[in-house]
Structure 1
Amino acid sequence: MSLKLRINEDMKTAMRAKDSARLGAIRLLMAAMKQREVDERIDLDDAGVIAVIEKMLKQRKDSITQYEAAKRQDLADAEKFEVDVLMAYMPQALSTAEVEAIIDKALADSGAKAPSEMGKVIALIKPQVAGRADMGEISKLVKARLGN
């Protein structure tokens, strides 16, 4: 079953169960997916859906940080719930060892030696880890390796 169909089925299940919080989070995801399809005149595949989810997760995490700084724990908790719902659709995360191996291979393949060549390395890594690792963390690891 495609990810898009799974999300649609989960929305129907949430409707039947009268789980309004979960239903709201899934509807936000469905709206974001539809918006991207209309804007780009495409039909999203699983990779496209994952890209939409990643963007929404980043937005939610930023919001959580801001809400907690403003001492609005009620709003932060709502965002955390949405993060949990969205994370259910993400692929299995890579282990630290797998990420290290991918970075090692990308460094070897690109021949990068200086921090100014970081873009070449990230370009090789990004397609391999899409949706399965935090690019911010990978960027820090690559920068640390090239900075030596």
Structure 2
Amino acid sequence: MSLLERLNDDMKQAMRNKEKDKLTVIRMIKASLQNEAIKLGTELSEDQELTVLSREVKQRKDSLHEFEKAGREDLVEKIRTELQYVELYMPKQLSEEEVSKIVQETVVETGAKSKAEMGKVMAAIMPKVKGKADGALVNKLVQQHLS
């Protein structure tokens, strides 16, 4: 089942169950996917869909951080709820240990020895963990391995 089909089914279910928040988030995700497809002028591949979903998660995490900093608890709860719904459509996230193992393997593959070669390592790792691990976590682990 494609992501759009799953979103449509979940949207219908959310309407039946009168889950207003979930319905709103699903509609936002669908709109983002459709906008990206229009922008590219073609149907989205799974990888492109994952990129859009990752962007949605990142936007919400950034908003969450800003609202927490501003002390806006009403908006913090709203964004947390939205984030939970968006993450339902993301692939299963890798644990820190799994990401660390991938980082170690990639450092060996690339032959990187110092932090100066961090870009080379990151470029090799990110396609492997796309959508399955947070970029900030990967960045932190790469820095630890190269120090």
Q: TM-score range by the shorter chain?
A: over 0.9
Map 1:32-111 onto structure 2 (within 5 A): 32-111=32-111
Shift of 1:36: 0.6
Given the two structures, how large is their TM-score scaled by the length of structure 2?
0.94
Say whether the 8 Å CA contact 1:25–1:85 is kept in structure 2: yes
Q: Distance in 2 between matches of 1:116 and 1:20?
A: 49
**Which aligned segments of 4 or more residues in structure 1 are displaced greater than 6 angstroms?**
none
Shift of 1:14: 0.9
Q: Distance in 2 between matches of 1:55 and 1:121?
A: 22
Given the two structures, how large is their TM-score scaled by the length of structure 1?
0.94
Q: Distance in 2 between matches of 1:135 and 1:68?
A: 21
5+ unaligned residues in a row in structure 2: which ranges?
A: none
Percent identity reads 39
Say whether the 8 Å CA contact 1:4–1:46 is kept in structure 2: no
The C-alpha deviation readout for 1:55-112, integer Å capped at 9, x for no partner, is 1111111111111222211111111110000011111111223212211111111011
Q: Distance in 2 between matches of 1:142 and 1:88?
A: 27
Shift of 1:6: 0.8
Q: Distance in 2 between matches of 1:123 and 1:42?
A: 26
